[in-house]
Chain A
Amino acid sequence: MPLAVLLVLVLAALFAGVISPHDPQHQDLLARLTPPVWLRGGSWNYPLGTDGLGRDILSNLFYGLQVSLLVGFLSVAISIAFGATAGLVAGYRSGGWFDSVMMPLVDLQLSVPAVLIALAVMAVSGRGLWKLILVIGVVGWAQYARLVRASVLGERERDYVTAARLIGASELRVLFRHLLPNVLGPLMVQASVDVPRAVELEASLSFLGLGVAVTTPSLGLRIAQGYQYLFGGAWWPSVVPGLALVLLVLAENLIGDWARDALDPQYRARGVRRASSAG
């Protein structure tokens, strides 16, 4: 079920250009704050109504999903790229100079809330979609570094690693070809938790005006822009994109829960795993 919902949302984002009834930026100033079609005064021309500038909310929703998904997946990919590489090297050569520089850095990063760092960087460097993706990605690296390092510590003494080394595989090959695939499980679980988190972080930063540029149709930004009309009784400019955001994050969270149950041996069968790894 959550998979189906996510699929629909992804498709809506992918084909935003085709299925959007209007240009998301187009302002129909005569139709400002048109309510959704099921309320009095609504029209099928704007199925979910218009915002305070007369922009079609449905079209903005499709494009907003595009932004959310882009940020979610791309920034987590960046986190993994930085974190997994650092974790692989630090774990393979634990105690080495790289390890002893990296791990305090990880602790440092984890001790300061990510939102705070992202806020500070965005405030001093100015907003923009790609910058935001990079910042959210970089801020999230520490989790992966720690996770991969711990997994590598457990894996590197295994026979297949020794075997690969014995037949003369280069260090890079051992790390990325042999070790990485074997520590991928927990990595994917963490990623499935982090994607919705990144989506939420983007929306929050954009809501605060420190995320994407004002013209980017981000859901968080639209919620912020619609917020002021709430007090006049026009709830749809902020609540409709908000519900879309909740739906997206909820679907991703449910999939993350499922992935954890399915992939994480700790949650699957505690006793069995512990007994077998002791041997």
Chain B
Amino acid sequence: MAAFLLRRLLRALVTLWAVLTLVFLLIHATGNPIAVLAPQQMTLAERARLAAALGLNQPLSEQYLRFLAGVLHGNLGISYYSGMPAMPLLLARVPVTLELVALSLAIAVAIGLPLGVAAAVWPASLADRMVRGLSVLGASVPTFFLGILLIFFFSVEFNLLPASGGGGLVHFIMPAVTLALFRIAFFTRLVRSALLETLSMPYVRTARAKGLAERMVVLKHALRPASLPLVTVFGLQFGQLFAGTVITETIFALPGMNRMALQALYRLDYPVILSYILVAAAMFIAINLMMDILYGLIDPRVRRAA
């Protein structure tokens, strides 16, 4: 198990390095931050001085090495826009995003899991058909439009919830629901199909033959192995959401890290963009590792194989 994890970690680090290098090259090949940063009336000499101050006049290889050294120290330079160290600036926004992601996934699982079980236990019932219909609809409403609809109904028409800003939990309700809707549908489908498969397994038949109550059979014997894909998808979704809440954070004006990254993109604020990529990729890798460990905890076969 330890050797397996070490190998995974090594591969993850290589991926991380490749992503960072790619992004570094991409943004240096396509954009010139001085053109964005410098006010129109700035003279050429002043522009040169600005470039020198930001280290943008050095050869690319030099900048790259400095960048890699910075990554190792967690120091990616000073934000061009705000003049503060980029990494702490970004890290300060991480909790908001984490809270949003955790809350929306909690909602999605809390609703999706029981719905999926119901749809699998009573196939072709009303619950099953409703779930199928809802899951297609849920997958077809773009996040930003759902957010707009929620704002219209709950903030404009009925004035129940705040439309924007970060603060107490109230500010997270609508954004979390917005993100959760599609995932409810997704989890429901997943649980349904996984449970249908395990319910047809011989050991489930054995459990039934032993005379176990149907509730025990479903919840203890069938659901446990069926939850394996759920863990995978949960992890994947967590990673995806962590870097995928740009639109939601923007619509609801939540001060999360994705909105900051988007603003940094508009301003070509390289240090902030690179910090963001580093944090997002590191998160991705951490989640993948955690999932590998979780597998072993849930399914004894995985543990023995490793």
Decide if B216 is an interface residue (CB 8 Å cutoff). Answer: no
Question: Is the beta-carbon distance between A123 and B148 smaller than 8 angstroms?
Answer: no
Residue ID in chain B nearest A252 by CB atoms? B140
- Residues of B near A95 (CB, < 8 A) are none
- Residues of A near B27 (CB, < 8 A) are 120, 124
Roughly how many angstroms separate A210 CA and B265 CA in the complex, as a whole number?
10
- Residues of B near A116 (CB, < 8 A) are 243-244, 280
Question: Is the beta-carbon distance between A230 and B148 smaller than 8 angstroms?
Answer: yes
Minimum CB–CB distance for B32 against chain A, Å: 10
- Residues of B near A253 (CB, < 8 A) are 136, 139-140
Decide if B30 is an interface residue (CB 8 Å cutoff). Answer: yes
Question: Is the beta-carbon distance between B156 and A230 smaller than 8 angstroms?
Answer: yes
Question: Is the beta-carbon distance between A208 and B246 smaller than 8 angstroms?
Answer: yes
Question: Is the beta-carbon distance between B240 and A120 smaller than 8 angstroms?
Answer: no
Question: Is the beta-carbon distance between B26 and A124 smaller than 8 angstroms?
Answer: yes
Minimum CB–CB distance for B195 against chain A, Å: 16
Fill in one digit per residue for B147-166: 1 if any A CB lies within 8 Å of its CB, else 0.
01101100110000001000
Residue ID in chain A nearest B141 by CB atoms? A246
Decide if B262 is an interface residue (CB 8 Å cutoff). Answer: yes
B228-244 interface (Cβ within 8 A of A) = 240, 243-244
- Residues of A near B18 (CB, < 8 A) are 108
Question: Is the beta-carbon distance between B23 and A120 smaller than 8 angstroms?
Answer: yes
- Residues of B near A235 (CB, < 8 A) are 152, 156
B116-173 interface (Cβ within 8 A of A) = 136-137, 139-145, 148-149, 151-152, 155-156, 163
Contact (A246, B31) CB under 8 Å given A108-B19, A124-B268: no
Roughly how many angstroms separate A168 CA and B30 CA in the complex, as a whole number?
46
User: Which residue of A124, A125, A200, A210 contacts B142 across the interface (Cβ within 8 Å)?
Assistant: A200
Minimum CB–CB distance for A51 against chain B, Å: 14
Fill in one digit per residue for A224-246: 1 if any B CB lies within 8 Å of its CB, else 0.
00010011010100110010011
Fill in one digit per residue for B264-298: 1 if any A CB lies within 8 Å of its CB, else 0.
01101000010000001100100000000000000
Minimum CB–CB distance for A26 against chain B, Å: 25
Decide if A16 is an interface residue (CB 8 Å cutoff). Answer: no
Question: Is the beta-carbon distance between B152 and A230 smaller than 8 angstroms?
Answer: yes
Interface residue count on the A side (C-beta < 8 Å):
37
* Interface residues on chain B, size class: 35 or more
Question: Is the beta-carbon distance between A203 and B142 smaller than 8 angstroms?
Answer: yes
Residue ID in chain B nearest A197 by CB atoms? B139
B71-104 interface (Cβ within 8 A of A) = none
Interface residues of chain B: helix, strand, loop or mixed (majority) = helix
- Residues of B near A113 (CB, < 8 A) are 240, 243-244
Roughly how many angstroms separate A119 CA and B258 CA in the complex, as a whole number?
12
- Residues of A near B265 (CB, < 8 A) are 119-120, 123-124, 210
Minimum CB–CB distance for B57 against chain A, Å: 20
User: Which residue of B149, B156, B250 contacts A242 across the interface (Cβ within 8 Å)?
Assistant: B149
Question: Is the beta-carbon distance between B15 and A204 smaller than 8 angstroms?
Answer: no
Minimum CB–CB distance for A66 against chain B, Å: 18
Decide if A72 is an interface residue (CB 8 Å cutoff). Answer: no
Decide if B204 is an interface residue (CB 8 Å cutoff). Answer: no
Fill in one digit per residue for A6-24: 1 if any B CB lies within 8 Å of its CB, else 0.
0000000000000000000
Question: Is the beta-carbon distance between A242 and B148 smaller than 8 angstroms?
Answer: yes
Decide if A67 is an interface residue (CB 8 Å cutoff). Answer: no
Decide if B207 is an interface residue (CB 8 Å cutoff). Answer: no
Task: Name, among B18, B145, B149, B151, the residue most crowded by chain A CB atoms within 10 Å (CB to CB).
Answer: B145
Apart from A112-B281, A246-B141, list 14 A-B contacts with CB within 8 A: A108-B15, A112-B19, A113-B243, A113-B244, A115-B244, A116-B244, A204-B144, A207-B247, A220-B144, A223-B148, A227-B148, A233-B156, A238-B148, A246-B142
Contacts A/B (CB < 8 Å), 8 sampled: A108-B15, A124-B31, A204-B143, A208-B247, A208-B262, A210-B265, A223-B145, A238-B148
Complex A-B, nearest 9 residue pairs according to Cβ-Cβ distance, in ascending order: A123-B265, A250-B140, A124-B31, A242-B145, A124-B30, A249-B140, A200-B142, A207-B144, A253-B140
**Residues of B near any A CB (own CB < 8 A):** 15, 18-19, 22-23, 26-27, 30-31, 136-137, 139-145, 148-149, 151-152, 155-156, 163, 240, 243-244, 246-247, 250, 262, 265-266, 268, 273, 280-281, 284
